[in-house]
Amino acid sequence: MAHFTRRRTSWPRGYAPTGDDLKDIDVRTTDAVNGDGGGTYTPSAPIEIEGAGVGVTGLWTFYDDVVVEPAGAARFVFDKNTVDDAFVLRSGHNGRARSYVEQCAKAFPARTTDVTTSSYIRSRFPGARIPLPFRTLNGATLATLNFRFSVGESHADVPAQLPRFRVIRVSDDGAIASLRAMDATTSVDGFQSFVTPASGAAWYDSGNIQTYLYTCNQNNVIDVEAYSYLAEFVDEDGSDAWSTAGNAVTSLVASYTGLPYVDSRD
């Protein structure tokens, strides 16, 4: 159905509207969009607007899919140059949760690690402390960080000190704060140790990838203007620790919730 056309091309002075004129005007009036009072409409065909377009200064809410099919190149342009310009997802929207895999080859303190050709790093000595950068999303909440690692050599017994894990933030003046509060499994400085396996063979696990899930519960709303964020892996140590091939950290999987906006860089 096309848009309304005029009932008559002209209304000369003295013309007496007919009953059909009045009925047609009445029907068109009830079918017209109420621009002031609003309403609910079910058009039988799309409403297409060309020319100068549409300007909206208030809230515009879509209750279904929005499909953009431009004839040529098209962009959404934020032209007010404000800091918080963004596409925002409502609280609870499943698009506000996201996970990222971070390869660990980029973190290579030469004194403590060797970078391999397989995109992971291996500790050079038992007890090596390895800082690991990972991707952060400003304003989001870091829920968990999953450490992926492998044991470098077989063990007759379980090491006295198994690897330890933590996630921290560092302020511009160097102050360190853990992203997990102290509890029965977490030290005062935020470290957690790998759960003791049944045997040295179970600990080695044929060199397969193992994981440790670190759950954050404090200081974990990301603020990249005030802090840097790091994961830390401290390798096994003490009696029965490895002697030839150190343990390797392969990657980190960061899971975020509460993403406040949609960013083309994410």
Domain-wise residue ranges, the chain: 94-257
**Integer Cα distance of 183 and 172 in angstroms:** 27
pTM over 0.75: no
Look up residue 34 and give its two tokens.
Answer: 């109420």
pLDDT for position 233: 96
**Integer Cα distance of 137 and 99 in angstroms:** 10
Q: For the chain, how big is the Rg over CA atoms in Å? A: 31
Apex 208 CA angle, 204 and 211, nearest 5: 90
Top CATH class of 94-257 equals: mainly beta
List, in sequence order, the alpha helices (H) in the chain. 19-31, 200-204
**Non-local CB neighbours of 205 within 8 Å, separated by 6+ positions:** 151
Per-residue pLDDT of the chain (266 residues; tens, 9 = 90+): 567 788 888 888 988 889 988 998 888 888 888 878 888 888 888 888 888 888 888 888 888 877 777 777 767 777 666 666 667 777 777 666 666 555 554 444 444 545 444 567 889 899 999 999 898 988 899 999 999 999 999 999 999 999 999 999 999 888 999 999 999 999 999 999 999 999 999 999 999 999 999 999 999 999 888 899 999 999 999 999 999 999 999 999 999 998 766 554 44
pLDDT for position 256: 92
DSSP 8-state symbol, 4: P
Residue 137 β-bridge partners: none
